[in-house]
Amino acid sequence: MSNDNSGSMMIAFVVGAMTGAAVALLFAPASGEDTREYLGERAREGREKARQAMDQGRDYYERQRDNAASAVDRGREAFQQARERGDQA
């Protein structure tokens, strides 16, 4: 169950890291142009990491949905078999 929120935790981590980097850069001695260029690069990297985290979250959700559907199907089959055995007895 601890993996249920892994996608949202990853996004929160990425956003926090980007915010920390941005604040650190604003207080660091660098030219405005250099700082803007660096922030732009970090923003692009952050977007890509967020996109990857979203894809991972989507994959995890789909796997869990498939697992649940499979479990329901197996449960129905077991119920049907038990019912048929009960009818034959």
pLDDT score of 89: 58
pLDDT at position 3 is 55
Answer yes or no: is pLDDT of 74 > 90: yes
**pLDDT for 27-72, tens place per residue?**
777 677 887 888 889 889 988 988 998 999 999 999 999 999 999 9
Type of residue numbered 70:
S
Q: Looking at residue 1, what is its pLDDT? A: 42
Burial 37-51 (b: 16+ CB within 10 A, else e): eebeeeeeebeebee
- Residue 70 is predicted with a pLDDT of 93
Give, in degrees to the nearest 5, the angle at Cα 83 between 80 and 87.
135
Looking at residues 69-80, what average pLDDT do you find? 93
pLDDT reading at 83 higher than 80: yes
